[in-house]
Amino acid sequence: MAQQPHPTVQKAIERYVELELEIDRLCTARFAGTCIECGGLCCRANHAAMTLGSWWLRQVSVAAHGQWWPEDWATRQGCCAQTPTGCVLHAGRPVCCWSWLCEPLVRQCADVWEVVFYGFISELPGDVARLTPSLDLLQMSEGEIAAAADVLAARVELAHRMLAAGRVLLDPAAAQIDKHRVAMRLICQMPRILQPSVHQALLEKMTTWGWE
Ligand code: SF4
Ligand code: SF4
């Protein structure tokens, strides 16, 4: 029988599942239907095989969904996590399915604050996975993750606090100055938010801010 992970790691898995499920809920609530119209263009290869190959992602996905993969997962042409109603993995997706704020989605964002917020949550799982400059959570064995359990737990809790702080960007009642502060802090802490489609969308939405 498989052993339970280290207790701190087990708790971090549970908290990380909560984080990813919340990101998934926020994404689905804002962009429902866009991927169906787009035709699931980014889901054609068997990307979920990477989840099965990473100890961390496999634990996260099993904690969220039980045994989700089909018996013939290794020989599938398309992604074995794809179903007629979308991706089965609301938590534990592979790294190539992060940074999901693609051009069709970014075009739906109403203002700079939405662009920053959804860019931020799209990058957050990848940010957690880079535990330290030299520790990549997705490449680590169970033993290596147990040895870094405290770093992992702190990183997951920081991600929850960042997500809570980032919500001000969606709050219509929040003061503009608070949105500026939070956006600047998030971008400075996670420069990857400014990936090319986000960067371009921000520039376009800032044209009314002057000097052109
Ligand atoms: S994430 Fe973007 S590219 Fe992928 S299916 Fe959805 S809209 Fe299309
Ligand atoms: S894991 Fe999910 S999001 Fe990623 S390619 Fe497969 S179906 Fe698409």
Render pLDDT for 96-145 as a digit per residue (tens, 0 to 9).
Answer: 898 889 999 999 999 999 999 999 999 999 999 999 999 999 999 999 99
Residue nearest to atom 2 of ligand 1 (CA): 102
Select from 35, 43, 79, 122 the residue to mutate for testing ligand 1; criterion: most ligand atoms less than 8 Å from CB: 35
Distance CA(144)–CA(190), nearest Å, equals 25
Centroid of ligand 2 to alpha carbon of 95 (angstroms) = 10
What is the predicted pLDDT for the residue at 68?
Answer: 96
Ligand 1 pocket check for 87: Cβ under 6 Å? no
Distance of alpha carbon 65 from alpha carbon 59, whole angstroms? 10
- pLDDT attached to residue 83: 85
Residue, of 84 and 47, whose pLDDT is higher: 47
How close is the Cα of 97 to the center of ligand 1, in Å?
Answer: 10
82 CA distance to ligand 2 middle (Å): 6
Q: How confident is the model at residue 212 (pLDDT cuts 50, 70, 90)?
A: low
- In this prediction the pTM is 0.94
Give the position, in ligand 1's atom list, of the atom nearest the Cα of 40: 5
Helix (H/G/I), strand (E/B), else coil: 101? coil
Mean residue pLDDT of the chain comes to: 93
Protein residue closest via CA to atom 1 of ligand 2? 48
Ligand nearest to the CA of 81: 2
170-179, pLDDT tens digit by residue? 999 999 999 9
The predicted pLDDT at position 202 comes to 94
Which ligand ends up closest to the CA of 98? Answer: 2
Q: What is the pLDDT of residue 96?
A: 87
CA distances from 187 to 85, 149, 162, 190 (A): 33, 27, 11, 5
Judge contact between 61 and 89, C-beta under 8 A.
yes
Q: Where are the alpha helices (DSSP H) in 3-54?
A: 7-31, 34-38, 49-53
Query: What CA–CA distance (Å, rounded) separates 86 from 93?
Result: 13
Residue 1 or residue 193, greater confidence: 193
Amino acid at 120: F
Ligand 2 pocket check: which of 24, 31, 47 to mutate, most ligand atoms within 8 Å of Cβ?
A: 47
